[in-house]
Chains A and B, each alone.
Chain A
Amino acid sequence: MQEPYKLIGCTILLFGALSLFFSIFYEHTVLALIGLGLTFWGALTLYITTEKYVKEILLDSTLLPTLANMDKILTELGYQGKAVYLPPKYLKDPETSKVYIPKNKNTRLPTPEEIQQKEDKTFLKNPEVALITPPGISLSKLLEQTLGTTFTKVKLENLQKNLSKLFIEDLEIAENLEIQTKPTEAAQKVADTIHVKITNSIYKDLCKEARRLTHICGSIGCPICSAIACAIAKASGKPVTIEKTESTEDGKVIDAFYRIIEE
């Protein structure tokens, strides 16, 4: 696919170099200008290569069955608790992320030491909880890789700036991303509720489809909401839940509300 571009680039570059050579030989100004232009645009064609793109529809086809399966398993096993995104201190490997889903709604969140002891298992007993890898972990790691640092080193206040740049400019995941933090009355708390508004994301169709999956939409979250939850949990160092997600009928605007749990 990229070969014709390389061939065109090389040809332009060659003609440019020849033109420059003859301009020096004959001391011809027009030839020199043509040569400069051709050499520059030839080099530019070689440097600015095309990127490999895949169709948006492939995202939905590959991701939806996995999410539907996860939802079905959790529904059949009777898990009713709210999914909690655990911060790095709860895990042996601080670079990874896990979601803690209790079977009963009123199960309290255990201490980091308790979770670290049983971290390798997916379904834990006493209390009955599921400790699963979030669907947005890979996206979250890609965001960190593109950012050049981990979210654990990013302050919560700076997360909006970093995520907006990553989502809009670097990875072109969405057209716009806004993060609003709602401060609480207690002075020691940085933020309690975080509202993320995502406009025209590449996952809009997936989000629309995932709305009927009760454990996914509004609990674990679709890959994009899940990746943001992983980022917030790492940046704040506190457990995070997805309170609710709302989207417009066409799925273009997604509003996700996150809550940081004070331990």
Chain B
Amino acid sequence: MNFPLSFWDISLWLAVTAIILLITSELISPYYGKTNILINKKRLKNVSLTMGILFLITVAIRIYGIITST
């Protein structure tokens, strides 16, 4: 009864999700012309940035682990 994914699996999943969301958020940004997608673009941008930050936190943890282990 263990969660089958490791910390690094989650990190990779976060990276892929963040990239998808960041690209989507940028593509539907009002700065590149009006799009007809009727969703709250601000919230999508916030979620994509949060996912990106979460991934960077996992990277920071990894770097910290490498530094402290040597």
Contact = CB atoms under 8 A, between A and B. Distances in A.
| A, B from the same assembly | yes
Interface of A: 23-25, 27-29, 31-33, 36-37, 40, 44, 47-51, 53, 168-170, 172, 175, 200
Given A24-B2, A48-B40, 12 more contacts: A27-B2, A31-B4, A32-B5, A36-B13, A47-B43, A47-B47, A48-B43, A49-B40, A51-B38, A51-B40, A172-B30, A175-B34
Nearest to B34: A175
A168 B35 CA distance: 12
Given A23-B4, A24-B3, A33-B5, A48 B47 contact: yes
Interface of B: 1-5, 9-10, 13, 17, 29-31, 33-34, 38-40, 42-44, 47
B9 to A, nearest CB: 8
Given A47-B47, A53-B38, A29 B5 contact: yes
Contact of B17 (A24, A31, A40, A169): A40
9 contacts: A24-B2, A29-B9, A37-B13, A44-B47, A48-B39, A48-B44, A49-B43, A53-B38, A175-B30
With most chain B CB atoms within 10 A of its CB, the pick from A48, A168, A169 is A48
Nearest to A28: B4
Contact of A36 (B5, B31, B39): B5
Contacts of A40: 17
Given A36-B13, A47-B47, A48-B43, A168 B31 contact: yes
B7 to A, nearest CB: 13
Nearest to B39: A48
Contacts of A168: 30-31
A168 B32 CA distance: 10
A91 B39 CA distance: 40
Contacts of B1: 24-25, 27
Among all A-B residue pairs, the 4 with the closest Cβ atoms: A29-B4, A32-B4, A48-B43, A32-B5
Given A33-B13, A47-B43, A172 B4 contact: no
Nearest to B2: A27
